[in-house]
C-alpha cells in the first residue's frame, strides 16, 4: 500500500513538472523566433542584401515600430496577421495599411509573462501619446477611448471618411472579450 502511494506521488510530481514545462518551453521557443526576426529587421535596417535575410522573415522588410511611452512599449508591428505572426509580436489587422491614413489597426496577444506584446495595453490612459514609426517618419496619435468589446464588434476596425485613427486591440485576461483603444492622429514628423 505504501509503495503504491509513493509511486502515485512520484507520478503526480512528474506530470506536474511536465505541465509546468510546456508553457516555459513555448515561451523559450517564441523568444528564439523573436530574436531571429529582430536580427532580420536589423539586417534590413542596415541595408543588408536580400541574400543575408532568411526567406522565412521576408516580411520583416515592412515592419513598423509602435511606441507607447506610458507603458514603456517599443515593439515592431508585422504587416500581416496570421497565427504565426501573432505569436511573434504585434500585427496589422488590415492588409496594406498606411500610417496617417484611415484607421490603422493593430492586434497583439497579452503574452504569458513580462511586458511583451500587449500585456499592459489596458494600462494606457486616455490622453496618452502613441507613435508609429515608419522609416524616417513618426505619426503621433492621442488615445481618446478605451473600451471592452465583443470579438464580433469588428466595426471598430473600419475606416471613417476624413478620420485618421489608430485602433489597438488585445484580449481580456479570460480571452472572451477584447480591449480596444482608439486614438486620433495629432502630428506627423520627419526624423
Instruction: Say if residue 49 is in the same domain as residue 93.
Output: no
Catalytic choice (43, 93, 134, 171): 171
Q: For residue range 148-175, what is the model confidence (pLDDT) as tens digits?
A: 999 999 999 999 999 999 999 998 888 8
R_g of the chain, CA atoms, integer Å: 20
Q: What is the rounded CA–CA span in Å between residue 179 and residue 118?
A: 10
Final residue before a domain boundary, out of 26, 54, 82: 54
What pLDDT does residue 44 have? 41
Identify the weakest region by mean pLDDT among 19-28, 59-68, 113-122, 155-164. Answer: 19-28
Question: Which tops the pLDDT comparison, 102 or 7?
Answer: 102
| CB-based contact 169:154 (threshold 8 Å) | no
Looking at the fold, whether 28 and 72 belong to one and the same domain comes out as: no
- Is-catalytic flag, 109? yes
Q: What is the mean pLDDT of residues 100-105?
A: 96
Whole-number average pLDDT of the chain: 81
Residues 149 and 184 in one domain: yes
Amino acid at each position: 500500500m505504501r509503495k503504491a502511494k509513493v509511486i502515485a506521488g512520484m507520478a503526480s510530481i512528474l506530470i506536474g513538472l511536465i505541465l509546468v514545462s510546456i508553457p516555459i518551453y513555448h515561451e523559450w521557443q517564441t523568444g528564439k523566433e523573436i530574436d531571429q526576426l529582430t536580427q532580420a529587421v536589423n539586417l534590413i535596417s542596415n541595408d543588408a542584401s536580400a541574400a543575408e535575410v532568411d526567406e522565412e522573415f521576408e516580411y520583416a522588410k515592412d515592419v513598423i515600430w509602435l511606441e507607447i511611452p506610458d507603458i514603456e512599449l517599443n515593439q515592431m508591428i508585422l504587416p500581416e496577421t496570421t497565427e504565426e505572426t501573432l505569436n511573434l509580436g504585434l500585427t496589422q489587422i488590415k492588409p496594406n495599411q498606411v500610417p496617417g491614413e484611415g484607421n490603422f489597426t493593430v492586434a497583439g496577444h497579452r503574452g504569458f509573462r513580462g511586458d511583451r506584446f500587449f500585456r499592459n495595453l489596458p494600462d494606457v490612459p486616455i490622453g496618452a501619446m502613441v507613435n508609429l514609426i515608419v522609416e524616417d517618419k513618426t505619426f503621433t496619435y492621442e488615445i481618446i477611448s478605451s473600451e471592452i468589446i465583443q470579438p464580433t464588434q469588428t466595426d471598430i476596425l473600419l475606416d471613417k471618411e476624413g478620420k485618421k485613427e489608430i485602433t489597438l486591440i488585445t484580449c481580456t485576461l479570460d480571452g472572451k472579450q477584447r480591449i480596444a483603444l482608439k486614438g486620433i492622429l495629432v502630428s506627423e514628423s520627419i526624423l
